[in-house]
């Protein structure tokens, strides 16, 4: 028998041992601050939308933040700065530490299709919380892009005169309102799916709190 072709063998990274640190402190802090900012932005944004809705519905006041338009705007702007600065810190630390490339790439259409089919059949493995499957990679990359769109469209709504080129690229002020709304809707959909996955695999929630690999089930 000839020598084995080692080029065809792709080594798999070792799974973290129980109690091993897999999420650094900076990641956990920026993650939870981003989550807080998103909750405030969405609930205050619903109240702002209710003041001038462009669809035939409004959000129940009980799930909005601010009480009135002025109060909602104050909450919205405060959370906006938190998301911008904390989100930039999150991105910079991910890139500088190499985590961005290590965790979210490579991602392929075939990998997404296979993992999505496995997830729909309930066969997608969650044995290694330190690694993301292709569906998770795509979802996280999408939400980062979505947040960029939300911030840019928000700039048009906030300072339309100061950003005329951006306003025109988004199709005008009213078009930017809709881009902002649908960007928010996509973000809410991501959060709902994310919470559903956490409910299915609750040990991932604890991992994002203490940062250590959970005990093997």
Domain that holds residue 76: 21-105
The dihedral region occupied by 136, where left means phi > 0, alpha psi between -120 and 50, and beta the remainder, is alpha
> DSSP letters of 42-67?
HHHHHHHHHHS-SSS----GGG-SSS
Q: Is residue 75 part of a domain?
A: yes
Distance CA 25, CA 89 (A): 13
Task: Give residues with Cβ within 8 angstroms of 124, minimum separation 6.
Answer: 115, 118, 133, 135
Distance CA 103, CA 90 (A): 14
- Are residues 26 and 94 located together in one domain of the fold? yes
In the block, residue with structure tokens 């020598």: 3
Q: Is residue 1 part of a domain?
A: no
Last-in-domain residue among 70, 105, 140: 105
| 8 Å CB contact between 116 and 81 | no
| 8 Å CB contact between 79 and 41 | yes
- Are residues 87 and 169 located together in one domain of the fold? no
- Are residues 96 and 142 located together in one domain of the fold? no
- Are residues 112 and 87 located together in one domain of the fold? no
- The model's pTM is 0.83
Q: Is residue 157 part of a domain?
A: yes
Predicted pLDDT at 204? 79
- Are residues 101 and 135 located together in one domain of the fold? no
How many domains does the structure of the chain reveal?
Answer: 2
CA distances from 142 to 55, 120, 182, 184, 203 (A): 26, 20, 14, 13, 24
- Are residues 98 and 113 located together in one domain of the fold? no
Question: Would you give per-residue pLDDT tens digits along the chain (217 residues)?
Answer: 444 443 333 344 445 555 577 889 999 999 999 999 999 999 999 999 999 999 999 999 999 999 999 999 999 999 999 999 999 999 999 999 999 999 889 888 898 888 888 877 767 666 566 678 888 889 899 999 999 999 999 999 999 999 999 999 999 999 999 999 999 999 999 999 888 878 877 777 888 888 887 665 5
Predicted pLDDT at 214? 64
Query: What is Dmax (Cα atoms) for the chain?
Result: 78
What token pair was written down for 208?
């994002």
- Are residues 111 and 209 located together in one domain of the fold? yes
Q: Is residue 44 part of a domain?
A: yes
């Amino acid at each position: 028998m000839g020598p084995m072709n080692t080029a065809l063998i792709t080594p798999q990274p070792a799974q973290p041992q129980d109690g091993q640190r897999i999420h650094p402190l900076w990641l956990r802090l920026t993650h939870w601050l981003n989550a807080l900012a998103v909750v405030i932005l969405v609930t205050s944004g619903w109240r702002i939308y209710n003041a001038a809705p462009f669809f035939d519905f409004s959000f129940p006041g009980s799930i909005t933040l601010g009480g009135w338009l002025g109060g909602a705007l104050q909450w919205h702007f405060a959370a906006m700065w938190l998301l911008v600065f904390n989100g930039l810190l999150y991105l910079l630390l991910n890139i500088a530490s190499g985590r961005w490339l290590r965790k979210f790439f490579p991602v392929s259409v075939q990998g997404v299709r296979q993992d999505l089919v496995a997830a729909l059949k309930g066969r997608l493995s969650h044995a290694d919380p330190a690694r993301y499957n292709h569906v998770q990679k795509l979802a996280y990359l999408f939400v980062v892009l979505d947040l960029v769109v939300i911030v840019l469209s928000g700039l048009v709504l906030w300072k339309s005169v100061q950003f005329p080129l951006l306003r025109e690229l988004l199709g005008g002020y009213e078009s930017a309102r809709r881009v902002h709304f649908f960007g928010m809707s996509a973000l809410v959909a991501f959060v709902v799916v994310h919470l559903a996955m956490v409910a299915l695999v609750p040990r991932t929630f604890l991992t994002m709190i203490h940062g250590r690999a959970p005990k093997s089930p």
